[in-house]
Amino acid sequence: MKELTLYNWIIEHDPDATLKTYRMIESGCADTCLCASCKHYSKFRKNYLNEHATQILLKLGIDKTKEAEVYFTGDHKSFDGQFKVWFHFIGSIKSITDINHSSDSTYIKLTNTSMVSISELCEMPNPIFNRLKILQISFILLTDGSNMHI
């Protein structure tokens, strides 16, 4: 287990084991679901997951194309709104540096259009993580026309 400080969270994680686990996952939610918002996210994933988010995922051993879940809230025609996307990885929270922002719903601003949160509450993890101690990293990605062009 390696210790890593990510914004508010001091975690212990195992990036090698996480990486190995992701190799066994066939594909991400957005690539298998046929709903309009998943198709949209799948197409523009690389625009939505900015460099900051990508670097964090890389550090944790997470394959950014294999999200556990993604959903959109906003205008389903223009895709003006926000995506919430999350991933799981092997690890645990050691401590939270800002006790005023220690609830599961706390998000830290990453960029003007993105926020990140780490939580012990894991929603719909891939069964492959069964019996492993995992955490959830979630991103809120605001959409504006500019990230919808390849």
Q: Residue 124, interface with Zn ion (CB under 5 A)?
A: no
> Would you call 145 helix, strand, or coil by DSSP?
helix
Q: Residue 84, interface with Zn ion (CB under 5 A)?
A: no
How many C-alpha atoms does 53 have within 13 Å on its Cβ side? 31
- Burial grade of 104 (CB within 10 A; 0-12, 13-18, 19 or more): exposed
Q: Residue 35, interface with Zn ion (CB under 5 A)?
A: yes
Cα of 75 vs its chain's centroid, Å: 22
Q: CB under 5 A: which stretch of 1-9, 27-35, 99-107, 131-139 binds Zn ion?
A: 27-35
Q: Which two tokens stand for residue 142?
A: 């605001």
Phi and psi torsions of 144, nearest 5°: -140, 160
Which of 25, 33, 132, 142 binds Zn ion (CB under 5 A)? It is: 33
Q: Are 110 and 53 in contact (CB under 8 A)?
A: yes
Which of residues 14 and 67 has its CB atom nearest to Zn ion in the complex?
A: 67
Which of residues 73 and 95 has its CB atom nearest to Zn ion in the complex?
A: 73
Which of residues 1 and 33 has its CB atom nearest to Zn ion in the complex?
A: 33
Which of residues 28 and 125 has its CB atom nearest to Zn ion in the complex?
A: 28
Q: CB under 5 A: which stretch of 36-44, 60-68, 79-87, 117-125 binds Zn ion?
A: 36-44
Q: What residues line the site for Zn ion (CB under 5 A)?
A: 33, 35, 38
